[in-house]
């Protein structure tokens, strides 16, 4: 089993580097707080082994949101340590009922191809329902609202100014590979990007990008990626395609290779873009012969 890669961020904060960056924060009485728990039991096992080697107990996991790569270690760690788990009210529903995520993406009960560990963590019990903004009770941490990517996502700021940004930002490499980065609410995501561009922090830790002291350039990379998807949708809408025609055209233009999981993620995210563009008055929809057609206003 490979060892965790840790970076000391100062002030009793360590960053666990990996496909999903996590946090270990020193707490009172020789205990520790985790910011997210990774994608599965193996992640949880590695984290527990690290804490045991340090001689500290696990007091709490703060989940920034309920995607499986952020709460996949919860069940193992809670079973082994009895630790508390904190999440916002919206995200807590998904943490405790993981079937909700593929159901949301699919729009109904999901097929077996979507009921996998990448979209469904093992369920765990949320003991602390926390607000989306303000102090996280019983800790020195602060919840920072970062809506857009998922239903009630937060960032977590430490007293020393380290801001764990969850999935509000992705690296340029990830956005090149996945040009339609999953968004639940496009308008909210734009507001989050505006907030991060002017947010004071000593160090920003996105879950899927390298930690940085200056986050402005990465914010702009992410903003351009969202703008690009909107531009493609609006361009395709000139011919008043059906929903399926628009989706196929976008996937072709952006060179997206689909499997069942990618189809569900792209399908759901493009509908969020459609809602944003319709609400902003640039798209219209109509029904013709049982088909939804999308056009420009």
DSSP letter at 159 equals T
Distances (CA, A) of 265 to 41, 119, 186, 258, 260: 24, 10, 14, 10, 9
E-assigned strand segments in 46-176: 57-62, 84-88, 128-130, 134-135, 142-145, 154-157, 162-170
pLDDT of amino acid 241: 98
β pairing state of 22-26 and 31-35: antiparallel
pLDDT of amino acid 29: 85
Report the CATH architecture of 5-166: 4-Layer Sandwich (3.60)
Give the integer Cα–Cα distance in Å for 214 and 191: 19
β pairing state of 154-157 and 13-17: unpaired
DSSP letter at 60 equals E
Q: The pTM is what?
A: 0.96
Q: Check for a shared fold between 5-166 and 228-296.
A: no
Per-10-residue mean pLDDT, the chain, length 297: 86 97 94 97 97 96 98 98 98 98 97 96 98 97 98 98 98 97 98 97 98 98 98 98 97 96 97 98 96 96
Domain boundaries, the chain: 5-166, 228-296
pLDDT of amino acid 103: 98
- Looking at domain 228-296, which of 3.40.50.920, 3.40.50.1820, 1.10.10.10, 3.40.50.1370 is its CATH number? 1.10.10.10
pLDDT of amino acid 3: 80
Largest CA distance in the chain: 67
Give the integer Cα–Cα distance in Å for 165 and 222: 13
Q: Are 58 and 48 in contact (CB under 8 A)?
A: yes
Give the integer Cα–Cα distance in Å for 133 and 236: 38
Tokens of 42: 């193996």
């Amino acid at each position: 089993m490979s060892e965790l890669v840790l970076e000391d961020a100062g002030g009793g904060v360590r960053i666990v580097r990996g496909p999903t960056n996590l946090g270990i924060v020193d707490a009172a009485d020789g205990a520790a707080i985790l910011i997210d728990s990774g994608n599965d039991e193996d992640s949880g096992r590695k984290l527990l082994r690290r804490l045991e080697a340090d001689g500290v107990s696990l007091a709490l996991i703060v989940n920034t949101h309920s995607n499986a790569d952020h709460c996949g270690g919860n069940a193992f760690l809670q079973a082994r340590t009895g630790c508390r788990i904190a999440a916002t009210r919206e995200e807590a529903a998904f943490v405790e009922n993981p079937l909700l995520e593929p159901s949301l993406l699919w729009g109904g009960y999901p097929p077996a191809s979507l009921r996998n560990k990448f979209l469904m963590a093992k369920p765990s019990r949320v003991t602390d329902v926390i607000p989306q903004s303000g102090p996280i009770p019983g800790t020195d941490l602060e919840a920072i609202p970062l809506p857009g990517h998922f239903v009630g996502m937060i960032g977590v700021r430490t007293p020393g100014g380290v801001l764990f940004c969850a999935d509000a930002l992705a690296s340029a490499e990830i956005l090149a590979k996945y040009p339609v980065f999953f968004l639940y609410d496009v308008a909210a995501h734009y507001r989050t990007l505006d907030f991060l561009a002017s947010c004071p922090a000593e160090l920003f830790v996105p879950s899927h990008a390298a930690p940085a002291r200056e986050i402005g350039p990465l914010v702009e990379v992410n903003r351009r990626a969202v703008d690009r998807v909107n531009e493609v949708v609006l361009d395709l809408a000139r011919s008043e395609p059906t929903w399926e025609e628009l989706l196929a055209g976008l996937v072709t233009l952006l060179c997206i290779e689909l499997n069942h999981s990618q189809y569900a993620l792209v399908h759901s995210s493009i509908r969020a873009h459609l809602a944003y563009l319709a609400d902003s008055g640039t798209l219209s929809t109509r029904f013709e012969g049982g088909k939804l057609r999308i056009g420009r206003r």
